Structure 1
Amino acid sequence: MKSRVLILGAGFGGLELATLLSEALGEGADVTVVDRRDSFVFGYSRIDVMFGKTTLDDVSLPYAAFEKPGIRLVKETITAIDATAKRVTTDGGTYEADFLVIALGADYDMAATPGLVEHGNEFYSDAGADRLRDVFPGFNSGPVIVGICGFPYKCPPGPSECALTLHHYLTERGIRKDCDITFVSPLSSPMPASAEMAQALMESFEEFGIRLLKQRTVIRLEPGLAVLDDGTELPFALFLGVPKHQPPQVVIDSGLTEDGWVPIDLSTLETRFPGVYAIGDMAATGLPKSGTFAESAAHCVSTSILAKLRGSNAQLNTGQGTCIVEYGDGRVSYAQLDFLTGPKLEAIYHPPSIAGKRFKQGFDETRRSRWFNL
């Protein structure tokens, strides 16, 4: 028996869920994926874009290449979500579903940090990373701030990755001695989920002369000046910011959010509306907002949907994922995390190495092949 599944968003979670349902049901699947974009970009690719190692075009994977039995991916903009009726309106029409999965990720609230747009740069969006690709070559001296403007945010070690890569970039250009780097974070450590990764990052910061200001948030930018939530004022010649995150406005308008995010049953990812799930960055899981955690959530939701269709057993959310840190000098470190399958968090840390770079490349290649047949 076919049952209509509607997936909003074609990111890590949406692509993996659609793939899993196609593998299980084949042409018997009736799955529609809605996304307003033309292509998919791995978030970790932006670090290479911003530092001129590649271009946005080169890392963009067209959704036209996502072809799976029983799956239809449409490019439309979502204008309304009715979770009670499991009905979604887009600029192309109206969709009704038996199962609705919202996987729209998190958007950026630039206005939440006054002066960010006028006086700073953000590196978490595709456009922001692409813009910095042109900014960096013209920067030659002065203090640089890598600053986080709100919590939670995607990819907890991402700003550390930026600071480390910036150090090596400036060193290669021969101007590191003329540039101070300060990293401002609201967290108590660069990577709370892995004490070993956090310690290694802090040791690298000390080795490379990167100043770390913990448990502080950038709340405002003025010309050449960043103001923190404790009143500290830091001068800068270049500001690289992580904007405040929030769910997409259409999700907020739907009434699905509470305290800023979409509440779910952590073990099943189901919202308070039966048959409506939320996975990925906009869900209030308390876990890192990262693509691999959206993938593990997709595995959970796929088994839940299949259980209701076939009477099989659903699997609980494992809360498993991997956080990868690019050091900018050819080395990569990563931590494999397991939040929910045991009595406590399990973290396996792999120090920065060339082997870590190969792991990252394999991670990328596996998903390119699985989702886009590349």
Structure 2
Amino acid sequence: MERIVIVGGGTGGLVLANRLTEKLRPEIDAGDVHVTLVTDDENHVYKPTFLYVPFGKKTVADAKRPVADLLDPRVDLRIDRVVGVDTDQKTIQVEDGDDVVGYDHLVLAMGAQLVPEEVPGLKEGGHHFYGAEGAEALRDALATFTEGHLVLSVIGVPHMCPAAPLEFVFMADDWLRQRGLRETVELTYTYPIMRAHGLESIAEWATPLLDERNIHLETFFNPEEIDPEAKVIKTMEGEEMAYDLLVAIPPHAGNDLVRAAGLGDDGWVAVDRHTLEATNATDVYAVGDIASVPTSKAGSVAHYEASVVADRIASRVRGQVPTARFDGKTVCFIETGMDEATFVEFEYGRQPRVRDPSKLVHWSKLGYNEAYWLTARGLL
């Protein structure tokens, strides 16, 4: 029997598991293939929903569905935490119990971790919308914020959903205008490199739009300490910035499990960017944010990567030479206000072209957010 084990119940893990059951249905039904998904959360979370929570447009409950409801019943679902990977013995160790789980093909899809504690004072002095609790706390803070300096600071790269920080300030600008508060609120957007976004074409598009909306842009701005009492950001460059409400994109980190298994010194799984196969082990793959590939840490990337890995594993199970390759395809909607958006699509070696924002694209994004649950099931 061929044993396929997937670690992680995010977009990459779910899409992969469901695609595999579709591609390998005859082998699974015959008992020749067994697919297991191990995740430490019984709920699947669609993280892009959290962008809308601070503005009262969505709730945390809207972002969650039970993993069991989204997974093909042919997949063996195990709610547990993986605490060890032995690529020599081809086993994983789980937290709940002394048993190990063997595999013939292993896919790591654990995502990225938020590590706000890496910046002293950030947990106490800043808000974020990259998780359920953070989004709700920011919603409450915004509800009573009527004047002062609102700062959105991107602290370190890479981070999940690279367009989200720009989306937030554009939405905040529009949201405040609708409430007659924009004149009493100063908006600042900071980014750690010498432009407004990691991708040059997006930075070139966003910079004049930020200026037009009277959103102050600070580049090469790298916070190293937050003083919550004084409400001051101190940077590595020796600068200080006062704020009244700080919305920070916290530092992100890979996974200690990856380091311990020798799959990536920095916690991200080192993979071939086209095959998604680990460079330091055989029969190991990575999809989603945990994979070290030169493109965005975005849900669409995990989706496309999962489809490629499903094809490659199915080919190997059947004794065929895998031919599917990931070309870096990324599709990303970018909200430019409360009722307009644009979108970009690109792949390795090609800069995205930013279209003119429109209400149609905004509603298309909201429509996709509702249809996402079909994507997680592998139906789109």
On whether the aligned pair clears a TM of 0.5, the verdict is yes
The residue identity in structure 2 corresponding to 1:251 is: V
Provide the TM-score with structure 2 as the length reference: 0.91
Q: Does 1:232 align with 2:239?
A: yes
| Whole-angstrom distance in 2 between the partners of 1:210 and 1:355 | 25
Structure 2 SS opposite 1:352:
coil
Structure 1 SS opposite 2:24:
helix
The residue identity in structure 2 corresponding to 1:171 is: R
Structure 1 SS opposite 2:337:
coil
Is residue 190–residue 198 contact of structure 1 (8 Å, CA) maintained in 2?
Answer: yes
What is aligned with 1:6?
5
Which of 63, 75, 80 aligns to 1:76? It is: 80
Is residue 306–residue 314 contact of structure 1 (8 Å, CA) maintained in 2?
Answer: no
What is aligned with 2:253?
246
The residue identity in structure 2 corresponding to 1:334 is: F
Query: How far off is 1:41 after superposition?
Result: 2.3
What is aligned with 1:257?
264
Equivalent residues, number? 368
Which of 294, 297, 310 aligns to 2:302? It is: 294
- Change beyond 3 A, Cα 1:169–1:225: same
Q: Can you list the C-alpha shifts for 1:338-358, whole angstroms capped at 9, x where unaligned?
A: 21xxxx315343321112123
Provide the TM-score with structure 1 as the length reference: 0.92
| Whole-angstrom distance in 2 between the partners of 1:194 and 1:357 | 23
Q: Does 1:206 align with 2:211?
A: yes
More off after superposition, 22-31 vs 10-19: 22-31
What is aligned with 1:183?
189
- Change beyond 3 A, Cα 1:235–1:135: same
| Whole-angstrom distance in 2 between the partners of 1:209 and 1:294 | 35
- Change beyond 3 A, Cα 1:365–1:54: closer
- Identity in percent: 29
| Whole-angstrom distance in 2 between the partners of 1:175 and 1:365 | 31
The residue identity in structure 2 corresponding to 1:277 is: Y
| Whole-angstrom distance in 2 between the partners of 1:168 and 1:17 | 38
- Change beyond 3 A, Cα 1:139–1:109: same
The residue identity in structure 1 corresponding to 2:313 is: I
What is aligned with 1:129?
135
| Whole-angstrom distance in 2 between the partners of 1:157 and 1:346 | 14
| Whole-angstrom distance in 2 between the partners of 1:82 and 1:214 | 42
What is aligned with 1:269?
276
Is residue 254–residue 266 contact of structure 2 (8 Å, CA) maintained in 1?
Answer: no
What is aligned with 2:46?
42
Query: How far off is 1:157 after superposition?
Result: 1.2
| Whole-angstrom distance in 1 between the partners of 2:20 and 2:340 | 36
| Whole-angstrom distance in 2 between the partners of 1:284 and 1:217 | 23
Is residue 16–residue 371 contact of structure 1 (8 Å, CA) maintained in 2?
Answer: yes
| Whole-angstrom distance in 2 between the partners of 1:35 and 1:236 | 39
| Whole-angstrom distance in 2 between the partners of 1:83 and 1:354 | 49
Is residue 331–residue 343 contact of structure 2 (8 Å, CA) maintained in 1?
Answer: yes
| Whole-angstrom distance in 2 between the partners of 1:152 and 1:232 | 23
Q: Map residues 53-202 of structure 1 onto 2, 5 A cutoff.
A: 53-93=57-97, 94-193=100-199, 195=201, 197-202=202-207
Structure 2 SS opposite 1:306:
helix
Report the aligned-residue RMSD: 2.0
| Whole-angstrom distance in 2 between the partners of 1:109 and 1:304 | 33
The residue identity in structure 2 corresponding to 1:238 is: L
What is aligned with 1:314?
323
| Whole-angstrom distance in 2 between the partners of 1:240 and 1:371 | 29
Is residue 194–residue 349 contact of structure 1 (8 Å, CA) maintained in 2?
Answer: no
| Whole-angstrom distance in 1 between the partners of 2:83 and 2:371 | 33
What is aligned with 2:287?
279
Is residue 176–residue 182 contact of structure 2 (8 Å, CA) maintained in 1?
Answer: yes
| Whole-angstrom distance in 1 between the partners of 2:319 and 2:355 | 40
Query: How far off is 1:204 after superposition?
Result: 1.9
Q: Can you list the C-alpha shifts for 1:271-330, whole angstroms capped at 9, x where unaligned?
A: 110001111112211211111111221122112211211133331112101122122321
Is residue 49–residue 62 contact of structure 2 (8 Å, CA) maintained in 1?
Answer: no
Q: Does 1:304 align with 2:308?
A: no
Structure 2 SS opposite 1:350:
coil
